[in-house]
């Protein structure tokens, strides 16, 4: 099975260092540019650069490689969509623009600074850091979820416990303001959710607080979920076992899949035909 990994990150965010450490073949548009015309960027050659990148990816899979890394910035959906047919995995580098700029300046590469700025503005994925595992109460992450800090969504669970309502929905609150929707049914739901949250912020999240994926599951086998009173386009699908605290210690998860990129169907969709990943249904 072909597994294409797209790096997502600003210039100087650590993508290439990470890619080189993985032991998989790497396709890197910057290297193609240098091989093709010897310059960092030459606009008229860009279609050729990307056609070459596609050819290389296809040829590497064709030659029998199972995993290929496309080491590029990929910060916009438009760019990532080019690779949709491979159903790529994203390896996201959360390094802040300020840090990337600092690194560029430190190696005397002032030319890249405006590019970092521009790409930071084009960044269209919800950032998991906005969900701030860093400021969670438990050491290393929320409810035992750990972000190793290199931007990966693959997380090891230790010290698992259910999330509280407060922990789970806090960062999404800003994005699900009632005035942002004109759908009365959702408005009711969002208001009820806010009320539930304010009433008992430390209550453990239950299966009923969640919207369940019809068929999509975390690598641990548990279905994906999100809080049942949000509809934020900036939201994420999470691993239900991680949220409910039922994941075994040390298990690995790939969750926090941004809605913006992952079209995961919920069990509420008519086209799900009653399929659900909710275990008690």
**Residues in touch with Zn ion (CB under 5 A):** 218, 220, 222, 239, 241, 253
**Taking the complex as a whole, how short is the minimal distance between the CB of residue 248 and Zn ion, in angstroms?**
10
Smaller CB separation from Zn ion, 3 or 217 = 217
Of 137, 139, 144, nearest in space to 170 by CA = 137
**Taking the complex as a whole, how short is the minimal distance between the CB of residue 212 and Zn ion, in angstroms?**
13
CA angle at 214 for the pair 212 and 218, rounded to the nearest 5°: 70
> Cβ(266)–Cβ(211) under 8 Å?
yes
Pairing of strands 236-239, 257-258: antiparallel
Smaller CB separation from Zn ion, 19 or 243 = 243
Smaller CB separation from Zn ion, 70 or 255 = 255
**Taking the complex as a whole, how short is the minimal distance between the CB of residue 230 and Zn ion, in angstroms?**
20
Smaller CB separation from Zn ion, 10 or 239 = 239
Instruction: Write down how long the chain is.
Output: 281
Smaller CB separation from Zn ion, 112 or 214 = 214
Q: What's the rounded Cα separation, in Å, for the pair 18 and 151?
A: 10
DSSP letter assigned to residue 167: H
**Taking the complex as a whole, how short is the minimal distance between the CB of residue 162 and Zn ion, in angstroms?**
14
- Beta strand spans in the chain (E): 3-8, 26-27, 67-70, 89-92, 154-156, 210-217, 223-227, 236-239, 252-254, 257-258
**Taking the complex as a whole, how short is the minimal distance between the CB of residue 74 and Zn ion, in angstroms?**
24
**Taking the complex as a whole, how short is the minimal distance between the CB of residue 220 and Zn ion, in angstroms?**
3
Smaller CB separation from Zn ion, 181 or 276 = 276
Distances in Å between the Cα of 133 and the Cα atoms of 25, 107, 165, 216 are 32, 31, 15, 24
Q: What's the rounded Cα separation, in Å, for the pair 255 and 155?
A: 8
Smaller CB separation from Zn ion, 32 or 218 = 218
**Taking the complex as a whole, how short is the minimal distance between the CB of residue 218 and Zn ion, in angstroms?**
3
> Cβ(227)–Cβ(172) under 8 Å?
yes
Pairing of strands 89-92, 3-8: parallel
């Amino acid at each position: 099975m072909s597994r294409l990994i797209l790096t997502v990150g600003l210039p100087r965010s650590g993508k290439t260092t990470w890619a080189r450490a993985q032991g998989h073949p790497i396709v890197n548009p910057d290297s193609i540019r240098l091989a093709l015309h010897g310059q960092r960027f030459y606009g008229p050659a860009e279609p050729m650069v990307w056609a070459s990148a596609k050819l290389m990816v296809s040829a590497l899979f064709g030659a029998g490689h199972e995993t290929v890394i496309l080491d590029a910035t990929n910060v916009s959906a438009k760019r990532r969509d080019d690779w949709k047919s491979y159903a790529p995995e994203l390896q996201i580098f959360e390094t802040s623009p300020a840090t990337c700029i600092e690194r560029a300046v430190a190696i005397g590469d002032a030319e890249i600074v405006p590019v970092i700025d521009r790409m930071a503005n084009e960044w269209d994925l919800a950032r998991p850091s906005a969900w701030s595992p860093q400021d969670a109460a438990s050491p290393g992450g929320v409810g035992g979820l750990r972000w190793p800090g290199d931007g990966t969504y693959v997380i090891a669970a230790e010290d698992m416990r259910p999330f509280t309502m407060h922990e789970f929905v806090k960062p999404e609150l800003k994005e699900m303001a009632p005035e942002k929707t004109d759908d009365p049914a959702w408005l009711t739901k969002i208001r009820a959710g806010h009320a539930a949250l304010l009433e008992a912020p430390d209550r453990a999240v239950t299966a009923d607080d969640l919207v369940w994926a019809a068929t999509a599951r975390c690598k641990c086998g548990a279905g994906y979920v999100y809080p049942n009173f949000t509809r934020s386009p900036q939201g994420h699908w999470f691993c239900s076992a991680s949220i409910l605290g039922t994941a075994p210690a040390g298990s690995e998860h790939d969750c926090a899949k941004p809605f913006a990129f992952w079209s995961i169907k919920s069990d509420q969709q008519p086209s799900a035909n009653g399929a659900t990943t909710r275990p008690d249904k």
